[in-house]
Structure 1
């Protein structure tokens, strides 16, 4: 195990950073009772984030795993939640701990967990609505939200993968059920979800086209896309030829929805990441907003089945043990990776969020629990 344990007067102390925290040892499992965590006490800018030393670690349920974080990534969902996205659901429950992705080591196991052992390196992601996230020395995840981390990739690299890849997995594999030989269009392939979707579709034997900014064209072609159209210089409605079995739209504005649906074969699937459930519940509250969102989705599904003969979906990340295991296998084989542009130590979480808010960093940002200063990564060739 990579953390230190010290016993004194019958009590156990675990080293976290430069401090020793009171914990206990049970059945050869080292368990910490409090640790550092980044708390969100109220919604706002990066300045509202607070790194505290005494956040409580909850008792594990039988199916849960305590993970000693080595790296966690910063997702768009994190910065949006910090700013108030999902307010109707989360505001009564403040303070929250942000973060969904994690890579680290198993520190303790719930009684029914059989897939992992203490000290094992794992990575995974929490559900979007989890209240206690991963911006903490010790995170709690369900057994099916974790898988073994490949030894061939670092914790920083691993932490960038699961939330984005599981979002793409649910759309392509669970909803559209893509098959070998089918054609897949990814609108917005330069982001983490889009890039994951390209690699998952290629691994499934699909022919992939994508749209992206000019800086991403070479990277997406290298990942296996057969066509990468720079939307800033080309009219991709004209440049992309033929029709597709599946369209995953990571942008989700009316124009991309219109084009994506018009490029689908009859019986195809259109999926967008920009569903209206959260915005409508934030505007009208859960009691009114959720039924309104359901009605809006059903209306569009009926409309497009009638007018185009296609299936229309809002897609979100969810835990999927089968998908996460496959993601781990692809990552181990070098067939699924998400480049990390910059790492920050967890103590500089405000700076990391500010850089993403101001678009100073376009690529993936990771909070490293071992780094002492920000680190720029080599550009992906």
Structure 2
């Protein structure tokens, strides 16, 4: 790890060469990171000892990572999803979630302090991710870590919870007393959606696999339907104000649309922007995707009187702060099933891809 002198950053006090030193105004210029040099299976991931750490911009924060969760998006990008965006930028660093300590800050950062424990998540399109001893996030992508949880537990929360938050709060604007259907409640986004909705006073029905029934009911769902054993179209009764579909697919979409009240919101995580961009290239694919979304929005607005959305995670400082408060009070929790040291990132991706572990996988940094 390399360290250089600087006058541009506030830095933390530490005797370790992994940390920044106030007396010498130093900051880390290289560190250990997991790099994706090409698309492929888990075996393509490389743990490199000296990956460059860019200089901080005024609004950015350097975070010493303690834990980073493995998201489905990580394995999909590694396999080639979004190659039209990420391909020209290879090698990249995977990872979205992080929990750790503030090591240094740009001059415009005011809401955090050096040495403070924080957690947060990067945007889905970030190319310098959190599988790194030191990660860079903007101030709005971070919040104080809930003191009631460990770094491992905290790292499992932000990306999934912010994805659910954007759909439910920013888009559907759910309110107390409304009915919500979460398709795929056993996953991290679905589980976060259940807990956020319950905290808002909503009545939640969800679909999930048999192994997740007890978990989603404990999270506050009033009805949990095992989609592997029951026909959800006939088992679930009544209409809903909003549907969050984490699974996607034409048949699931058709069923969900018919469950909605007029004026309701259908939100899916499985938008076509990335796949169409991969097929046609960004220059053609994005306009085609925009047209496809608009066509569906017009179709369902006139045929069913509902709003149709593709939903993605994005930074939301207000949302992350509320997520922190919910986690602090025990109202929002994403269970971690297994941890791996960062040196075993290949094994972690193999376990995630083969669905050997039911629940979140987290990478730990020594």
Post-superposition offset of 1:362: 2.6
Q: Which residue of 2 aligns with 1:202?
A: 198
Who is 2:189 aligned against? 193
2:330 equivalent among 318, 324, 334: 334
Q: Shift in Å at residue 236 of structure 1?
A: 1.3
Q: 2: CA distance between counterparts of 1:200 and 1:296?
A: 30
Question: How far apart, in 2, do the equivalents of 1:29 and 1:252 lie?
Answer: 50
Query: For structure 1, which runs of at least 5 residues remain unmatched after alignment?
Result: 6-11, 371-381
TM-score (norm 2): 0.95
In structure 1, what is the Cα distance between the partners aligned to 2:14 and 2:31? 10
Task: Encode CA deviations 1:49-105: one digit per residue, 9 max, x unaligned.
Answer: 110110111111000000000000000000000011110011111100000000000
Q: Deviations over 1:296-316 (max 9, x none)?
A: 000000000111000000000
SS at match of 2:323: helix
| Pair 1:230 & 2:229 matched | no
How far apart in 2 are the matches of 1:49 and 1:15? 31
2:143 is aligned with 1:147: yes
Which residue of structure 2 lines up, in the alignment, with residue 167 of structure 1?
163
Q: Displacement, 1:14?
A: 7.4
Does structure 2 conserve the Cα–Cα contact (< 8 Å) formed by 1:29 and 1:118?
no
Work out the CA distance in 2 between the residues paired with 1:263 and 1:13: 56
What is the CA RMSD across the aligned residues, in angstroms? 1.8
For residues 141 and 184 of structure 1, the distance between their equivalents in structure 2, rounded to whole angstroms, comes to 32
Q: How far, CA to CA, are the matches of 1:47 and 1:355 in structure 2?
A: 12
Residue from 48, 57, 63 that aligns with 2:59: 63
**Partners of 1:39 and 1:95 within 8 A in 2:** yes
Give the alignment partner of residue 356 of structure 2, picking from 354, 360, 364. Answer: 360
More divergent stretch after superposition (358-367 vs 158-167)? 358-367
**How far 1:320 moved relative to its partner?**
0.4
Inter-partner Cα distance in structure 1 for 2:301 and 2:20: 58
Deviations 1:148-198 (A, max 9, x none): 001110000000000000000000000000000000000010000000000
Q: Is the 8 A contact 1:30 1:107 kept in 2?
A: no
Counterparts of 1:179 and 1:77, CA distance in 2: 29
SS state at 1:298 partner = helix
Q: Does 1:135 align with 2:119?
A: no
DSSP-derived class of the 2:21 partner? strand
Q: Assess, with a 3 A threshold, how the Cα gap between structure 1 residues 204 and 358 changes in structure 2: closer, same or farther.
A: same
Aligned length: 357
Aligned-partner Cα distance in 1 for 2:20–2:303 = 63
CA distance in 1, matches of 2:245, 2:86: 27
- Residue 98 of structure 2 corresponds to residue 102 of structure 1: yes
**What corresponds to 1:304 in structure 2?**
300
How far apart in 2 are the matches of 1:39 and 1:357? 18
- 1:115-147 CA-to-partner distances (Å, cap 9, x unmatched) read 111110000000000110000000000000000
Aligned with residue 112 of structure 1, among 88, 105, 108: 108
* Corresponding position of 1:374: none
Deviations 1:192-238 (A, max 9, x none): 00000000000010000000111111111111111001111111111
Structure 1 residue aligned with 2:248: 252
In structure 2, list runs of 5 or more residues that go unmatched.
4-11
Q: Give the Å deviation of 1:27.
A: 6.5
Residue 29 of structure 1: how far off its partner (Å): 6.2
Residue 28 (structure 1) shift: 7.6
* Distance of 1:248 and 1:364 partners within structure 2: 20
| Matches of 1:108 and 1:24, distance apart in 2 | 7
Match of residue 173, structure 2, among 166, 171, 177? 177
Distance 2:348 2:166 in 1: 28
- Alpha-carbon spacing, 1:15–1:367, altered in 2? closer, same or farther (3 Å): farther
Question: Displacement of 1:239 after TM fit?
Answer: 1.2
Deviation at 1:358, TM superposition (A): 1.5
